[in-house]
Amino acid sequence: MAELVFFSGTMDCGKSTLALQMDHNHRARGRAGLIFTRLDRAGTAVLSSRLGLATDAVEVDEGLDLWDVVVTALTGGRRVDFVICDEAQFYAPAQIEQLARVVDELDIDVFAFGITADFRTQLFPGSQRLIELADRVQVLQVEALCWCGRRATHNARIVDGAMVVEGEQVVVGDTEGGAPGLVEYEVLCRRHYMRRMNSKAAHAAALSADVLPLELDACALPQL
């Protein structure tokens, strides 16, 4: 029986890589799929991974009916054995419902990939609907790590090196290389997310802690 599966994790934990691998493995066994994505960092109508692989995909524009796309492909004589949906957090709840219908009425597997929560720890509407409707939510095995070495569970938004907790929900960006004034992201464990301590803040705190004993020594000198 076909399933709607939501493969979820933080940014940079290998979701797009897994999406490409699943597509490859199914195609290698003669199965044919449709690939969807929305707002991929590499551009429009492409599914890309940080490992350098990419493939063409259908861009899920606002208002695109995913049920219609699949039915049109089938009625046009195309085989559709599975559907892959990357960056699914950005899909509208109605589009997730269309995917559930594809599973239930056409008996086609749908594999969706995405982050659950935004930089404020709030669920994306698409991810919320997936959690509500999916047959299975599968957390990726490869763990992204916080700078402290713990498993990263949260996506922090960084502007000019500092963590921010206010702003637009959707700002496409990467986990490194944000130019001055632009948004970048860093994955953190909950403890460091709650303390607003990204790697740069931790580095600065460590430096001032190193300096502190010297200052204390200097204060102590006159008493010697």
Ligand X SMILES: Nc1ncnc2c1ncn2[C@@H]1O[C@H](COP(=O)(O)OP(=O)(O)O)[C@@H](O)[C@H]1O
Site of interaction with ligand LXEULUCI (CB under 6 A) = 11-12, 15-16, 41, 115, 118-119, 155, 157, 169-173, 185
Is 49 one of the binding residues for ligand X (CB under 6 A)? yes
Three-state DSSP class for 116? coil
Q: Is 9 annotated as a binding residue?
A: yes
DSSP percent split of the chain into helix, strand, coil, nearest 5: 35, 25, 40
Site string for ligand X, 106-145 (x = CB under 6 A): ------------------------------------x-x-
Please choose, from the candidates 102, 97, 83, the residue with its C-alpha nearest in 3D space to the C-alpha of residue 37: 83
CB of 199 to ligand LXEULUCI, least distance (A): 16
Q: Is 12 annotated as a binding residue?
A: yes
Is 12 one of the binding residues for ligand X (CB under 6 A)? yes
The verdict on whether 87 is a catalytic residue reads yes
Are 158 and 196 spatial neighbours (Cβ–Cβ below 8 Å)? no
Is 171 one of the binding residues for ligand X (CB under 6 A)? no
Give Rg (Cα) of the chain. 22
82's enclosing H/E stretch is strand 82-85
Burial class from Cβ neighbours inside 10 Å (0-12, 13-18, 19+) for residue 43 reads: exposed
Three-state DSSP class for 206? helix
The smaller minimum CB distance to ligand X, of residues 47 and 103, is found at 47
Is 17 one of the binding residues for ligand X (CB under 6 A)? yes
| Annotated binding-site ranges for ATP | 9-16, 86-89
User: Which residues of this chain interact with ligand X, rule CB under 6 A?
Assistant: 9, 11-17, 49-51, 142, 144
